[in-house]
Each structure stands twice: as C-alpha cells, then as structure tokens.
Amino acid sequence: MSYRNILFDSVDGLARLTINRPDKLNALNRETITEIDAALEAFDRDAGARALILTGAGDRAFVAGADIGELAEQTPHGGREYSLYGQSVLSRLEASGKPTIAAINGFALGGGLEIALACHLRVASESAFLGLPEVTLAIIPGFGGTQRLARLVGKGRALEMILTGDRIDAREAHRIGLVNRIVPPAHLISEAEKLARAILSRGPVAVRFAIESVNRGMEMPAAEGQFLEATLFGLLTTSEDMKEGTRAFLEKRKPAFRGR
C-alpha cells in the first residue's frame, strides 16, 4: 500500500512508522489515522517484523494534535463515530503482541500523546513536550487518553493534566512515569532502536505473553490477573523457546530463540 501521510518500512525485524506531515506538525486527520491503521495491520501480519518504532517527521513534533479544521466540522454523531474509530486504531496498537515503542520528538499533544500512550514503551527527546490540551477547545481527549493516562500515572496527575490542558516537559514526564527514558534529541531514534533490539533478543513468545498478561491483567481484579499470569506461565513451559532458554543458561551460551 502507498501512503500520503506516513512512512512505513521494516528492516532486520524492526519496523518504523513515521507520521509524515511536518508542515502541519504531523497533526492527525482522518486520512492519516486510516493510514496508521493500515500500517499496523501490515505490521501485525508480517512475521518478519518483530517490533515497531513509531515517531514523527522532523524535529519539532511527534504529533502536535488533531487537524483543527477537520475537528471544527464534527457533529455529535460524527464526533462519537470518529472517537470510536480512533480508539479502535489505538487499541490495535496497544494489543499488538509485538513490542511497540514511541520515539517522542518535540510536541506530543492531544492525539499525539494518545498514540504514545497506546505504545508499550515511550522514549522521549529532552526537547519533548507532552499534554492533553483538549479542554482548551472545550472538548475532552477522545482516543483513549482519559483512560490510559490515568492508568499510567494515576488519577490525580492525569486529572491535573487533562483539566488544565497544560503541557509538561520531558523531565517531568519521566518523573511521573509517563515516559520510560529521556535522551538528547540526536540520540532519540538510536536509543529507541537499542531498546527494541534488546527486547528482540528475548524469547518472542514470552514477550507476547508478557504484553498480554500486563494489558489484560490491568483490567481484572488482582486475583484474576494472577490466574491469567499463571496460565500463560504454564503454557510457556511447553514452548521450544523455554527449553532452549533454560538449556542455554545451563550451558553458559547465548540462546537461539525461534519463536516456538
């Protein structure tokens, strides 16, 4: 598939999706979201692509928010449908069994922060700013931001960010647990790739089950989450990778995982 608003490729097991509207600070419109959805579907289907880095073109913005001109024309019915569509796309990103990493360069505001929140991990440039400013337009986050932010940083911090619409810098985002790492701008992509490669050296089935256990477990009572964990742990003991991993440890060599 050809894309007008994103760049998408995969090299040596690592896919990269770049939102490519730098003249608009990579703002999201309907067409861009549709292209992101198509790229995520292709990523999930591609057995050779084992991790994804998602970033924005240029050095000013990851994604600076929604296309305001398009947003201004929403109706109640259309707004709800658009919100549900965006939520479904980001749910696909979050539910991927392959690790996804947001490399946040510059502004990650509104829908941009919501995309980053749906990724499994977040690496931010020291020059990044993050926020959910929707209330300044008299709306609320609509792509899952009210739900994921609260789960990640806690109800109080999430409400402060959402109700004020204020943005925070990368250091504050790291302090409250919103991003995993902060790095100099020149090292952003290399650090995200280093993190992805470290994960790719682990057992692929175990990585997939770990993502599932955390994602699904957060929606369950603790006892049910632990039961899910035990079930997945038990399944992993039957895998070829588990046998290879334990054998390699005992033989003091690097394991050769095959994803089975």
Tens of pLDDT, residues 54-63: 999 998 999 9
**Cα–Cα distance for residue pair 192/188, rounded to 1 Å:** 6
Residue spans per domain, the chain: 6-200, 204-250
**Cα–Cα distance for residue pair 107/65, rounded to 1 Å:** 9
Structural tokens at position 224: 């049910």
Active centre residues (catalytic): 114, 134
Nearest to 131 by CA among 168, 95, 102: 168
Kind of pairing between the strands at 51-56 and 14-19: parallel
**Fold match between domain 6-200 and domain 204-250:** no
Under CATH, what is the fold of the domain 204-250?
Lyase 2-enoyl-coa Hydratase; Chain  A, domain 2 (1.10.12)
Structure pTM?
Answer: 0.92
Contacts of 111 (CB under 8 A, 6+ apart): 28, 63, 65, 66, 86, 143
Report which DSSP code applies to 28: B
Under CATH, what is the fold of the domain 6-200?
2-enoyl-CoA Hydratase; Chain A, domain 1 (3.90.226)
What mean pLDDT is predicted for residues 185-198?
Answer: 96
Collapsing DSSP to helix, strand or coil, 235 comes out as: helix
Tens of pLDDT, residues 131-153: 999 999 999 999 999 999 999 99
